[in-house]
Chain A
Amino acid sequence: MNKNKRKQWRVFGLIFPSLFWLVVFFAIPLILVLAMSFGERGTYGGVIWNFNLENFARFFDFSDPLYLRIFGRTLYIAAITTLVSFLIGYPMAFWIASQPEKRRNSLLMMLMLPFWTNFLVRTYAWILILRDQGVINTIWAGHFHNAVVWLVAVLPGLPLDWLVQATSNPLPLFGTNLAIIIGLTYGWLPDMVLPCYAAIERFDGSLVEAAQDLYANRVQAFFRVIFPLTLPGVVAGSILVFIPSLGAYVTPDLLGGAKSVMIGNIIYSQFMSARDYPFGAAISFVLMALMLAGTLFYFRFTVAGQKGEPGHD
């Protein structure tokens, strides 16, 4: 018994640091924010702790859906980002997994390499690419435009007036939803590629042979066997992209404009400029609830998926 007690203490001693970390830096702030979300903004920005649901009512106000609209846009941008990441990331993961073993690691390394640079710096780089005087528009509205104008001047009969028109103004990239989606996709793509890669790499190739043996061509083998069995990786990747996209703040702040504000920016402004802590806390909680739902869905899915995995022989 004595021995058991000592063992318990040792286990406790081992988990104490992480437990401490979790409580101090996670649980306590979380409870504070939750409590705050039921409070009311004080005249000078403090919190009045009178329990009410005003903040949530303000957020879910259907007669004036200002915040709901932003929330909807946030969901939309995050969803498109996830979809685009999947459409780029899955084939990329597939391609990497099909390379010889030595090359795979260096390819994965190259995928991670940009992450040695600060996220802010990389996002700034996208400003330089997307803005009106940026790389894309210098080519589009500059060189390409000039080339078309020159071509029309040399060969007057050419029906290219519409192209002259189209290229006379820079493409509206910067400050749009598109810019945010590009920035987010760029930022979270590795989080899609890595779980997909893990699933594809682990995939048992003899199953494809079996499918081909049973008259499935390559396309059928992919959709009937490979894709369903690597789906857990896709779901994991999607959640890893979707959740941070939902909470994105830096990317919409730098690449977006007034019409593409996301929920993260609203939370920021409630805390930092409006000084309405309780409302900011309430929005944070709605967002968090959504992320939690997504994560639970994922665990549900993977646990359900495991039922079908091959038994060990």
Chain B
Amino acid sequence: MPDEFAVELINVAKQFDQVVAVDNVSLQIRDGEFFSLLGPSGCGKTTTLRMIGGFEMPTSGNVLIGGEIQGFKPPFQRPVNTVFQSYALFPHMTIFDNVAFGLQMKKVSKSEIKQRVNEMLELVQLSDVGRRKPNQLSGGQQQRIALARALINKPKVLLLDEPLGALDLKLRKAMQLELKALQQRVGITFIYVTHDQEEALTMSDRIAVMNQGKVLHLDTPEEIYEHPANRFVADFIGETNFMEGKVSQLNEERVFVAVDDQVPVPLLPTRDVQLGQVVTVAVRPEKLSVSAEKKREVDIPGTIDEVIYIGTDIRYIVRITEKTTLAVREQNRGGLSAQRFSIGDHIHIGWYARNASLLTE
């Protein structure tokens, strides 16, 4: 049973002097999965990854790889390989020797090494750079070589620490797709560290959102985006409108939250809440629409505070109470509908109840 998982962390914690870098994390990563660790800087992503790789030892808890407890095994005894953020290519060796390094250490025969290195270089589409030194390659090429150097060992799990961090935006986007395609082709479990939420959403099968050493939400990209578990996740992933209020009414079909004690907002009854509890309602700007009169189930009157033209979208900032404004994102479809409202207009904001989340923490 335990070997269903490629990697399993059980109550893993890591403390550096005074700093608790990873705080009692448990997770299970499935075989062949593209799994991302996502979170802001300093939240413990790298430390978690390094504990899987064997570069740090947990202060407490267990790391299992392929069902085996790793204990204090050093990196060279673990069936994982790492792509380092700075690539860490050996500057004094040719690209060929860099890629061949792992096989050489495993005493694979020369002819097999040659064949496999060439195959690998082909896989990352860099067949003819074998004789160059790493500093004679571009950043993107170095990145691919780092990937090839790790993948050639056919690890059970590949660990990647912000492997695209040093690339410019355009190249990064291209590499994201390439990496994902490669992962599906080779079928190896990827554990991918990033602080870029868009990157995580595009590439991952599942994401663990971390903050301050804890995993706050672990699910598929869609679930995390549509139904964030708490305020931090909702805020960190994408853009979200938050409304504070108390639960004012409860029934079988709806929960009503009185935002700022005035505006009643209906939500699906998804969580254990009590009457009078202070909660937060979260709803994404693109789920909202602005109209002259009531159109959707949830309907809140407001006044337009600001109109921002972003090309693909038009953004309205709408005041619904003294304290609260909501951002609305409407697609710019052109024609007559473009930029229908202007500052000061009294309008209605509408959305579907299922699109808003009720957060208690």
State the Cβ distance, A305 to closest chain B Cβ, in Å.
8
Q: Which residues of A contact B80 (CB under 8 A)?
A: 213
Central interface residue in B81, B88, B139, by most chain A CB within 10 Å: B88
Instruction: Report if A206 contacts B (CB, 8 A).
Output: yes
Q: Which residues of B contact A213 (CB under 8 A)?
A: 53, 55, 75-76, 80-82, 150
Q: Which residues of A contact B76 (CB under 8 A)?
A: 212-217
Given known contacts A215-B102, A215-B105, A217-B76, A210 and B134 CB-to-CB distance under 8 angstroms = no
Q: Which residues of B contact A313 (CB under 8 A)?
A: 86, 139, 142, 166
Check B105 against A307 for contact (C-beta < 8 Å): no
Q: Which residues of A contact B24 (CB under 8 A)?
A: none
Instruction: Report if A220 contacts B (CB, 8 A).
Output: yes
State the Cβ distance, B188 to closest chain A Cβ, in Å.
15
Check B101 against A211 for contact (C-beta < 8 Å): yes
A209 and B88 CA atoms in complex are apart in Å by: 9
In chain A, positions 194-230 with a C-beta closer than 8 Å to chain B are 204, 206-207, 209-217, 220, 224-225, 228-229
A225 and B89 CA atoms in complex are apart in Å by: 10
A217 and B105 CA atoms in complex are apart in Å by: 9
Q: Which residues of B contact A209 (CB under 8 A)?
A: 55, 75, 82, 84, 88
In chain B, positions 83-107 with a C-beta closer than 8 Å to chain A are 84, 86, 88-93, 101-102, 105-106
Check B101 against A214 for contact (C-beta < 8 Å): yes
Q: Which residues of B contact A217 (CB under 8 A)?
A: 74, 76
Q: Closest chain A residue to B100 by CB distance?
A: A214
Q: Which residues of B contact A210 (CB under 8 A)?
A: 82, 84, 88-90
A215 and B139 CA atoms in complex are apart in Å by: 25
A313 and B53 CA atoms in complex are apart in Å by: 25
Instruction: Report if B135 contacts A (CB, 8 A).
Output: yes
Instruction: Report if B296 contacts A (CB, 8 A).
Output: no
Q: Which residues of B contact A228 (CB under 8 A)?
A: 92
Instruction: Report if A308 contacts B (CB, 8 A).
Output: yes
Count A-B pairs with CB separation below 8 Å.
Answer: 78
Q: Closest chain B residue to A205 by CB distance?
A: B88
Check A308 against B105 for contact (C-beta < 8 Å): no
State the Cβ distance, B142 to closest chain A Cβ, in Å.
8
A206 and B53 CA atoms in complex are apart in Å by: 13
- Chain A residues within 8 Å of chain B by Cβ, number: 24
Partner of A229, one of B92, B106, B150: B92
Instruction: Report if A309 contacts B (CB, 8 A).
Output: yes
Q: Which residues of B contact A100 (CB under 8 A)?
A: none
In chain B, positions 148-207 with a C-beta closer than 8 Å to chain A are 149-150, 153, 166
Check A308 against B135 for contact (C-beta < 8 Å): yes
Central interface residue in A209, A215, A307, by most chain B CB within 10 Å: A215
A308 and B102 CA atoms in complex are apart in Å by: 20
Instruction: Report if B133 contacts A (CB, 8 A).
Output: yes
Q: Which residues of A contact B149 (CB under 8 A)?
A: 214
Q: Which residues of A contact B166 (CB under 8 A)?
A: 313
Check B90 against A311 for contact (C-beta < 8 Å): no
Check A206 against B84 for contact (C-beta < 8 Å): yes
Q: Closest chain B residue to A228 by CB distance?
A: B92
The interface bits of chain A over 276-313 (1 if a CB of B lies within 8 angstroms of the residue's CB, else 0) are 00000000000000000000000000000101111101
Check B81 against A214 for contact (C-beta < 8 Å): yes
Check A311 against B134 for contact (C-beta < 8 Å): yes
A2 and B84 CA atoms in complex are apart in Å by: 56
A74 and B93 CA atoms in complex are apart in Å by: 37
Central interface residue in B89, B92, B139, by most chain A CB within 10 Å: B92
A301 and B97 CA atoms in complex are apart in Å by: 21
Check A204 against B133 for contact (C-beta < 8 Å): no
Q: Which residues of B contact A206 (CB under 8 A)?
A: 84, 86, 88
The interface bits of chain B over 41-67 (1 if a CB of A lies within 8 angstroms of the residue's CB, else 0) are 000000000000101000000000000
A266 and B159 CA atoms in complex are apart in Å by: 65
Check B91 against A310 for contact (C-beta < 8 Å): yes
State the Cβ distance, B191 to closest chain A Cβ, in Å.
14
State the Cβ distance, A210 to closest chain B Cβ, in Å.
4
State the Cβ distance, A224 to closest chain B Cβ, in Å.
8
Check A308 against B91 for contact (C-beta < 8 Å): yes
State the Cβ distance, A126 to closest chain B Cβ, in Å.
39
A244 and B106 CA atoms in complex are apart in Å by: 44
Given known contacts A308-B91, A313-B86, A214 and B105 CB-to-CB distance under 8 angstroms = yes
Check A220 against B105 for contact (C-beta < 8 Å): yes
Check A207 against B90 for contact (C-beta < 8 Å): yes
Check A214 against B153 for contact (C-beta < 8 Å): yes
Q: Which residues of A contact B153 (CB under 8 A)?
A: 214-215
Mark B residues whose CB is within 8 Å of A: 53, 55, 74-76, 80-82, 84, 86, 88-93, 101-102, 105-106, 133-136, 139, 142, 149-150, 153, 166
Query: 9 more A-B contacts (CB under 8 A) besides A204-B88, A210-B90, A212-B74?
Result: A209-B55, A212-B75, A213-B75, A213-B76, A214-B76, A214-B81, A217-B76, A307-B135, A310-B89
Mark A residues whose CB is within 8 Å of B: 204, 206-207, 209-217, 220, 224-225, 228-229, 305, 307-311, 313
Q: What 6 pairs between A and B have smallest CB-CB spacing?
A: A311-B135, A214-B102, A210-B88, A215-B105, A308-B92, A212-B75
Q: 7 A-B contacts, Cβ less than 8 Å apart?
A: A209-B75, A209-B88, A210-B82, A213-B53, A213-B80, A307-B133, A309-B135
